[in-house]
Chain A
Amino acid sequence: MQELDNDRLVWMFTQMLRIREFEERVKRTFEEHPGVIRGHTHLADGAEASIVGSLATLQPGDQLMATYRCHGYPVALGTETKAIMAEIYGRKDGLCGGYGGSMHLVDPSRGFMGTSGIVGQGIPQATGLGWAAQLRSRSHSPQVVLAFFGDGASKQGAFHESLNLASLWKLPVVYVMENNNYNVSTRSEQEDANAAAGEPLSVKAAAYSMPGVTVDGGDPVAVYEVVGAAADRARAGEGPTLVESKVYRLSAHGNIIAPPGVPLHYPEHEAITTFGNREEYEAALRGDPVPRFRARLVEQGVLEADRADRITEEVRAEMDAAVQYALDSPFPEAETAARYDYVYA
């Protein structure tokens, strides 16, 4: 694991901000450009530190897989934000040509091997990537795979089957569970036996004889250290680790679900809408990882306030441009739906 020098810390802050500003634009699109985004979007606001701290450990050749809550990873990996936004707007210039949409971003050129819209299903696929990485490591420098998923996904058989296999075969996978304590509007202690018993979800690792670590997912440096140590272990051939990264999602699970004709928008967080617990949500806002990290870097003298402001301005300009680009991008030709060379290779 490399030391985080000042440049790297500023890079991390910048990436967190880019994810936040990107997601803000997605959310605002529902108000500012009604009808432009269809279907379902899921935002990473609140998880920026976890995503960036994890991705900061990647080395050339490493790969990752994620879920439908997937905008943050390619943003931080350097995929053009205008291509991501255009995909979410269903445009021809979108990252996936408008075929996939918000839930199915993929950019193999940057190691982002895709997502599943079905809870838990990316986990075994990432495990397969891990096997491939293990095979590549026989002749190249060791590579790892990061598998991202939610707390809820750890109640799928796919999770348990994968962790067992990965541990058995010492696959170089770091399983990063982003624990936001909710599955849509169900709280973890209502659906998870460990949570109900007051235990961290990382205890699940013990069943598969692998390390399980819980980390504050609002602290990118802490995440970097934990995921980095797990990645080092994986590169050394010692097998997988389960990292439980505790985050708070600052938006609702997704935009409202409604048939065509009903304008979509983001409702308030389920803490409020389902449980009437505004205080929980407001406490999370007070601990917002993005301003928290900025303040820390400024306080430590890593980043001057006016440089942070300049970065913020640049990031906002980038994201505004991404929105404009996506709005200006044409729709795909309808007939290109019948690209049978996309159905069968």
Chain B
Amino acid sequence: MARELPYIAAVQEAIFEEMGRDESVLFYGQDVAPSDDDNFVKAYGRDRVRVSPISETAEIGMAVGLALAGYRPVVELLMAEFMLVAMNQVVNEAPRLRYMSGGQVKVPLVLKAGYGFTAGWAGQHTGSIYGMFMGFPGLKIALPSTPADAKGLMTTAIRDDNPVCYLINYLLVLEHGDVPEGEHAVPFGEATVRRSGSDVTIVATGWTVGRALAAAQTLAGEGIQAEVVDPRTLNPLDTATILSSVEKTGRLVLVDQGTRHGGASAAIAAEVAEHGFGSLKAPIAQVTALDVTVPYSEPMEAFVLPNEEKIAGSVRQVLGEAPVAA
């Protein structure tokens, strides 16, 4: 049975339910239950639910230690940028320890953080910085775009035996959608086709999935059938689904809320250029954020971001239907 929940409630529900199923799951972080009047504290007690100081290096480093000791910590980090002060723990410790031990240890932990809050949060709180995490083998990255996936990917993140950056798109937190009741796990590394079409493949994540679907709707009115693929996890990345879609459509538009240079869309473009070149009828196009820090002022912020018009325009371009600039 499914019922409507906001995205953010679906995330919390997954953590709550997994804590009920597995005593080794811990939940802590800044402003996590400062008052005892809290559902998590009431259900699981202060041994397992704690509020921590603003000490990301310790919070995340401790998660590594807890994981080595057999626990499954979920660390509330509020915003992805706050992980940056603990970058070594995130990218140079957690994902490497298993490999360096020759497979002797495992580090199951979840770094729960918001990203992409392009709602006037200016330069240091709006980043879609998942691209930088892609270069660290051992670190998984989940980017739920719907309430159902928010729950299902969190369940899987907690059960996964590896460190996972579970990234909440803060523009989506109040979006409502059907969420399965009870146990619900969405496997990592399985993209989903949000809309099928035969003319062009649009790959989008997080908030941009909705923008891509809206663009696809507009394009349908022009007789263009766009397929929208949501990878859901960037590591592992389901290149097979993307490649088979491109094989069908012959055209690829990549949408990314993050910056272009060295970003997620560039990584996907490289995979398709290498393995799907034969199916491409037009160059791959990328609709990303501009390579600038996100500005505060609304018109400038909007200018920096991908949007429906930019996506639709890019699709028309790869279909050769837009006038080519002289």
Contacts and interface: CB of A to CB of B under 8 A. Distances in A.
A153 interface: yes
Interface stretch (B47-55, B65-73, B140-148): B47-55
B174 interface: yes
Interface in B72-91: 81-82, 84-85
A184 B123 CA distance: 20
A256 to B, nearest CB: 12
B124 A337 contact: no
Contacts of A339: 292
Contact of A99 (B51, B125, B172, B300): B300
B296 A38 contact: yes
A119 B290 CA distance: 26
Contact of A38 (B31, B35, B120): B120
A202 to B, nearest CB: 17
Given A258-B174, A337-B301, A100 B296 contact: yes
Contacts of B291: 343
Nearest to A101: B296
A331 to B, nearest CB: 5
Contacts of A333: 299
Interface in B17-45: 30-31, 34-35
A152 interface: yes
Contacts of B292: 337-340, 342-343
Nearest to A188: B53
B171 A259 contact: yes
A335 to B, nearest CB: 6
B54 A152 contact: yes
B35 A191 contact: no
A314 B55 CA distance: 44
A331 B301 CA distance: 11
Contacts of A116: 124
Contacts of B51: 186, 190-191
B57 interface: yes
A332 B55 contact: no
Contact of A100 (B123, B171, B302): B123
A157 interface: yes
Interface string A24-43: 00000000000001111000
B57 A157 contact: yes
Contacts of B57: 157
A101 B122 contact: yes
A187 interface: yes
B119 A336 contact: no
Interface in A198-247: none
Contacts of B99: none
Contacts of B55: 155-157
A130 interface: no
B304 interface: yes
Interface string A319-345: 000000000000111111111101100
Interface string A1-17: 00000000000000000
Given A184-B31, A259-B174, A119 B123 contact: no
A259 B81 contact: no
Interface in A266-285: 274-275
Contacts of A99: 123, 293, 295-297, 300
Nearest to B56: A156
A185 interface: yes
Given A260-B171, A274-B34, A39 B120 contact: yes
A336 B34 CA distance: 43
Contacts of B54: 119-120, 152-153, 155-156, 183, 191
A273 B69 CA distance: 37
A156 B85 contact: yes
A38 B124 contact: no
B173 interface: yes
Contacts of A100: 122-123, 296
A191 B297 contact: no
B62 to A, nearest CB: 13
A90 B303 contact: no
Nearest to B300: A337
B209 to A, nearest CB: 15
A287 B170 CA distance: 38
B85 A101 contact: no
Nearest to A121: B85
Given A156-B54, A157-B57, A259-B171, A101 B297 contact: yes
B119 A38 contact: yes
Contact of B300 (A102, A155, A336): A336
B49 to A, nearest CB: 13
Contacts of B172: 259
B185 to A, nearest CB: 26
Contacts of B300: 98-99, 332, 334, 336-337
Contacts of B120: 37-40, 90, 101
B53 A152 contact: yes
9 contacts: A38-B296, A90-B298, A117-B125, A152-B54, A158-B85, A187-B34, A191-B54, A259-B172, A337-B292
> A-B pairs with the 8 shortest C-beta distances?
A38-B120, A101-B296, A39-B120, A98-B297, A90-B297, A337-B300, A155-B53, A191-B53
